[in-house]
Chains A and B, each alone.
Chain A
């Protein structure tokens, strides 16, 4: 068999068994592809190409179609997420109050290339979201479950440093 360049070995076999069980319980897996992808993302935390290909073969659907779905819906991620997910609200109110400058400041501070969502150290993922319903705090940023209101460009460096410090402490605690 002439192989493709994808190495399916990188997928965790325990998680795959769980995913298999989920898929096999479906009567019409092709019609339930969105749910299957949600389940896969829950198990693996993101949808690497190999996993998309695995699902494609498992349910006999073109990988291109599955990749089309994954890349269409912003909920699905093809990159691993960082420990901390920074969401910058780009809703109308936040945008008018300068959210774009805040977003760019995060990009600079995390040294993210264009299209790159997760920082090289794996600590931070940056994404823009639409209105999160906290317009009174515009521009608003969330990091995991914590909310930061009235964020200014100048605040960004401090926020990131706080989380870097937090991560260091956690590592130290685990080491003890």
Chain B
């Protein structure tokens, strides 16, 4: 590729043709602030709309300032990012944005986690010189998962890029024009009345408090302080490799033991592991897969752990609802077992049990509210909070997370294998299923449990696994746009697959909409993924069917995997839904 020479702040440099000023500046250690710009390198996610104008710089010979994020370098270009004109221009732009932004930062959900707030500090804003009309929109609290406050929107369009280009859900778009422009569903519909999957990727990338999760921390506190309530908690795999970030720990720190200790400090009556239920999910899903293969059932079988993905297929592929596994997700299986098996073991009244989930995901909130995921009118799971919300709760309670000594999960629903840990990354669920299916189908001992051909971060991956005389063709997609492409390929016959794993979020649950904000740093996602694989290697048992507490559950309570009682408690149905 041809190289171009240019000068940035007096530093001569050479960059590849087609590089932007922003990229060139970064390569010589010159920082240019950005706001709307978002490039998740390696995940095919890029928002390049140049709408915020915060990255304006001066180019010699050009009459106006240019936006560094979009302006391509040219030979001999002389760029100043720190001239008085550039600094004043950027400050003016930011002041104008702030002039139409609420100043209630102290009580905002994004306080100290807001990119607009960071910028106000970075650009040394100490006064806003502009006054004028402010936006005045109702706040949308209609969904179970997220809150949309258009008054805090700066029209960066990151959410729109996520919803349309990356996830291909197409719920959010800019409506109207000029001062009246607002990002909204069609016809200003309530979020609850749309085809939103609640994947939360709009929340994950929103730089301000315009899109946030629905905070249910107070509900948890209330339950913990209700006499007679037996409040138990489960923690999803991806939480343990991310929560440390909220307490100043390095991304990718494995803090399972601290997490258990922290939850005990909050006063939960028992601290359990969603990983235990993930092992249970594998027992059911692997049985279902083998059953479908041996009985000429519908193939491919699609994993059904990801609730955003389930919402997506119900709205976008209502004609294909016979292919997802009927297995409930691990979070819901946990709840169903807590309110049947655990209740009977402990001699508890089901109505006195409250199941709280800590999830990397905000779609899990909407999932828990699905009416069919209940026994009678008692929901399998009562309250779901995200990794971020748990962080807030721990801060509030003054728990010094970093200095906690490791503790172990409570028994009965706390034991897990390495297979369940990797549920938190793309490719993990199907690898866990393959480990178990391999031993069941061949009757042989699996020596090397790591199926590296299923790993990676490419959006769509396919691989074959030989199991005795069966060759299992496997497909994996993460990100709903990739899921769409894979499903269309299945429908058209391009792909001939036995089993497919789909996760809605980039990287799987490690990149979930309820995780600590990555603020565009994709290295954080890679480190979380590596930490999950490390946690798997740390485990003595690495195949779900080896989990002694799962074996005990089937022996003492459920009977056979994929049997009658398992069907009643651990399987579900899907509903075709009109798209909007």
Contact = CB atoms under 8 A, between A and B. Distances in A.
A136 interface: no
B383 to A, nearest CB: 25
A57 B579 CA distance: 8
Contacts of A63: 170, 186-187, 580
B193 A5 contact: yes
B172 A71 contact: no
B170 A1 contact: no
A75 interface: no
Given A2-B575, A3-B578, A64 B176 contact: no
Nearest to B184: A64
B189 to A, nearest CB: 9
Given A49-B187, A52-B186, A53-B186, A64 B578 contact: no
A72 B176 contact: yes
B580 A65 contact: no
Given A1-B318, A63-B186, A53 B580 contact: yes
Contacts of B580: 4, 6, 53, 63
A63 B172 CA distance: 9
User: Do most interface residues of chain A lie in helix, strand or loop, or is the interface mixed?
Assistant: helix
Contacts of B175: 64, 67-68, 71-72
B577 interface: yes
A36 interface: no
Given A5-B193, A52-B186, A57-B579, A65 B318 contact: no
Nearest to B185: A64
B164 to A, nearest CB: 7
Interface residues of B, number: 21
A166 to B, nearest CB: 34
A1 B186 contact: no
B177 interface: yes
B340 interface: no
Contact of B171 (A6, A52, A61, A62): A62
Nearest to B169: A62
A66 B185 CA distance: 11
Contact of B577 (A1, A61, A62, A67): A1
Interface string A49-80: 10011001100011111111001100000000
Interface string B173-199: 111110000001111000001000000
B182 to A, nearest CB: 9
Contacts, number: 58
A1 B578 contact: yes
B446 interface: no
Nearest to A67: B186
Contact of B186 (A2, A3, A5, A64): A64
Interface string B560-580: 000000000000000111111
A62 B164 contact: yes
Contacts of A5: 193
Contacts of B170: 61-65
Interface in A35-56: 49, 52-53, 56
Contacts of B575: 2
B578 A2 contact: yes
A6 B193 CA distance: 11
A65 B577 contact: no
A122 to B, nearest CB: 22
Interface string A23-36: 00000000000000
Nearest to B182: A71
Contacts of A64: 170-173, 175, 184-186
Interface of A: 1-6, 49, 52-53, 56-57, 61-68, 71-72
Given A2-B576, A72-B174, 16 more contacts: A1-B576, A2-B575, A2-B578, A3-B578, A4-B578, A5-B193, A62-B173, A63-B187, A63-B580, A64-B171, A64-B175, A64-B185, A66-B186, A68-B173, A68-B175, A72-B175
26 contacts: A1-B318, A1-B578, A2-B578, A3-B578, A49-B186, A53-B186, A53-B580, A57-B579, A62-B164, A62-B173, A62-B186, A63-B170, A63-B186, A63-B187, A63-B580, A64-B170, A64-B175, A64-B184, A64-B185, A66-B186, A67-B173, A68-B174, A71-B175, A71-B176, A72-B176, A72-B177
